[in-house]
Amino acid sequence: MAQSITMPKLGLTMTEGTISKWNKAEGDAVAVGEVLFVVSTDKLTYEYQSEVSGVLLKIEVPENCSIAVGGEVALVGEAGEVVSSRSAPPRASDGREAPVAPAAVSSAASSAGKKKVVIIGGGPGGYVCAIRLAQLGADVTLVERERVGGTCLNVGCIPTKALVKSAELYGEMKHGADFGVLCSGLRVDWAAVQNRKNAVVEQLVDGVSGLLTANKVAVVSGEAHFLSSSAVEVSGRTIQADAFVIAAGSAPVIPAIPGIESEGIVTSTEALSFAKLPEKLLIVGGGVIGMEFACLYATLGVDVTVVEMMPAILPPADEEMGVIVRKRMEALGVKIHTSCKVTGFDSISSGVMTHVLDSLGRELQFSSDKVLLSIGRRADTAALNLDAAGVKAERGRIVVNKRMETSVRNIYAIGDCCSPIMLAHVASAEGEVAAENIMGAARDMDYKTVPSCVYTLPEMAWVGMTEKAAVETGRKIKVGRFPLIGNGKSLIMNETDGMVKIVADEKYGEILGVHIVGPHATDLIVEGALALRLEATADEIISTVHAHPTVGEALTEAALDLQSRAIHLPPQV
């Protein structure tokens, strides 16, 4: 008689599991110890080894479908045996009843030939999506009107960080004597800084082009617009496809302020490539991009002023951590005016005069040779003719669900043109979700573990809830802190202005948020992201031995501080 294979219980809290892969098909022989299928939960992946032998008579739970622990997954018996299923039907991973036929991600082409997918935009959303689709067997065309790599590689993440690196090196060399390293004639060769930045960009753009070619993605140059829900036009050529992914990205917001067209007012794109270093730079907007530019130019010796409308710079960051960065920026010479509104600009012989109203209603004026507008970015969808396809957008931003599906079947959107978080790694993650869903999976985009990084000096990074947000949920929380003055590696690096702060649930110690200001904060934050993904507790961070001397030890200490037992802090009285 056929034997029932059921969903195993693989952990204390496991209530259901998803079959992420079948290693056998119905009719295949099964031997004891052979891996029959792979189970995934939000915490683990497990290869289920058969405890019986025979023939796999019936698969009850197709790939990417879930079933409760103890539910019947399959039946194994003798060849030719007639069987019927016994347990509740499985669910697709979005909660819907599972499709009759397995709807797994498949690397094989469908019987009707390869699925043809057109991607509009070759930024970190579009190119990652293209490669994933190609891996899964799709026939992929990527349309790009400028250069692959998009904003991120060409005028965003990469060139800014290349400039930050030059600034950091210059700043460190200025303090070389503190380390016993003497240097005379130190100066910035701005043209060489620009050349290096451009070389880094070129190398990465070439690398992405090479990867697309290697994955047999057809890259079409030109601007795409929809003709219908199944066709786009690029430079007079009509391209039809089974599915589309819109990855058109974003553009800077240009506010309607009197005098905005004055010469010398630029966006981040131009601020990456000034012909010469400005003497005075005024930055409108103290968000992430504004503060990165403020830091890098101030480090290079530019007189920088930041005007921010909100009461604090870096508004989404944990307040306490934002204050540390603000103090460091001010120590660097950056003048920060918060709760201030720009009311107008005038052209003057030395550049631009910026008129500002402060929170007390006083009028302030700042002259500078350049003004950088950095007040946010907007979805860049105007050229797409979304109406022809019937794709719904709200003020230009495409409306999507968690699967990255738009309002139109088979049209997906990813990245800055639709996402609640405008970051390159988010665009890429959404690209992978869209690609897999197009090829038959049922994946949701999960933003829980998205880290935010600010490449100021010192760096700042966080993941999960700020202290304020955690308190607002109404749960009882506790906070662990460890200042980097107590961390050996930070002292070695002469970078002790910083802190690790962990926000945790009071009852269970579950990590809710991790916040870091200090050297390599943007690299270290991945530990916090993983902690959130694994629903780790303070104990699990503490019992994970961190190497010495590293800045990462401060994470253990902050976790210990949650239990009032940090080793390298004086006892609390």
The residues binding ligand FAD (CB under 6 A) are 120-126, 143-146, 150-152, 156-157, 160, 223-224, 247-250, 268, 289, 380, 383-384, 415-416, 422-425, 427
Q: Catalytic: 548?
A: yes
Cβ closest to ligand FAD, residue 157 vs residue 541: 157
Residue 142: CB minimum distance to ligand FAD, A: 9
HSE (side-chain half, CA atoms, 13 Å) at 28: 14
Residue 324: CB minimum distance to ligand FAD, A: 20
Residue 129: CB minimum distance to ligand FAD, A: 9
Residue 501: CB minimum distance to ligand FAD, A: 22
Compute CA distances 89 → 46, 66, 74, whole Å.
22, 9, 12
Residue 416: CB minimum distance to ligand FAD, A: 4
Cβ closest to ligand FAD, residue 525 vs residue 538: 525
User: Of the candidates 2, 163, 147, 130, which has an alpha carbon nearest to the alpha carbon of residue 74?
Assistant: 2
N residues, the chain: 573
Cβ closest to ligand FAD, residue 265 vs residue 562: 265
Which residue in this structure is represented by tokens 């930045």? 197
What kind and span of H or E run contains 45? strand 45-49
The residues, ordered by sequence, that sit 6+ positions from 88 with a Cβ below 8 Å of its Cβ are: 67, 68, 71
Cβ closest to ligand FAD, residue 305 vs residue 381: 381
User: Of the candidates 96, 106, 99, 168, which has an alpha carbon nearest to the alpha carbon of residue 137?
Assistant: 106
- Cβ(49)–Cβ(25) below 8 Å: no
Sheet with 45-49: strands ordered across: 45-49, 35-40, 16-22, 65-68, 91-92
d(C-alpha 120, C-alpha 143), whole Å: 5
Residue 570: CB minimum distance to ligand FAD, A: 37
Structure tokens at 103: 């709807």
User: What distance lies between CA 500 and its chain's CA centroid?
Assistant: 21
Residue 217: CB minimum distance to ligand FAD, A: 14
Structure tokens at 105: 């991600």
335-337/303-307 β-pairing: parallel
Which residues is 483 bridged to in the sheet?
A: 499
Please identify which of the residues 175, 225, 355, 548 carries the catalytic annotation.
548
Cβ closest to ligand FAD, residue 417 vs residue 538: 417
Residue 268: CB minimum distance to ligand FAD, A: 4
d(C-alpha 294, C-alpha 335), whole Å: 9
The residues, ordered by sequence, that sit 6+ positions from 317 with a Cβ below 8 Å of its Cβ are: 325, 452, 454, 460, 462, 466, 515
Cβ closest to ligand FAD, residue 119 vs residue 329: 119
DSSP string, 61-129: S-TTEEEETT-EEEEEE-TT------SPPPEETTSSBPPSS-----SSPBTTBPPEEEEE--SHHHHHH
Cβ closest to ligand FAD, residue 39 vs residue 313: 313
Structure tokens at 275: 């012909």
d(C-alpha 448, C-alpha 465), whole Å: 9
Q: Residue 340, exposed/middle/buried by CB under 10 A (0-12, 13-18, 19+)? A: buried
Cβ closest to ligand FAD, residue 421 vs residue 534: 421
Which residue in this structure is represented by tokens 């190119």? 127
Cβ closest to ligand FAD, residue 50 vs residue 419: 419
Residue 386: CB minimum distance to ligand FAD, A: 10
Residue 517: CB minimum distance to ligand FAD, A: 16
The residues, ordered by sequence, that sit 6+ positions from 504 with a Cβ below 8 Å of its Cβ are: 477, 478, 479, 480, 510, 511, 512, 537, 538, 562
Rounded to the nearest 5 degrees, what angle is found at the Cα of 516, between the Cα atoms of 513 and 522?
A: 105
User: Of the candidates 17, 23, 104, 56, which has an alpha carbon nearest to the alpha carbon of residue 443?
Assistant: 104
Residue 455: CB minimum distance to ligand FAD, A: 6
Cβ closest to ligand FAD, residue 107 vs residue 221: 221
Cβ closest to ligand FAD, residue 267 vs residue 487: 267
d(C-alpha 122, C-alpha 219), whole Å: 9
Helix, strand counts (H, E) of the chain:
14, 34
Which residues are identified as catalytic?
Answer: 548
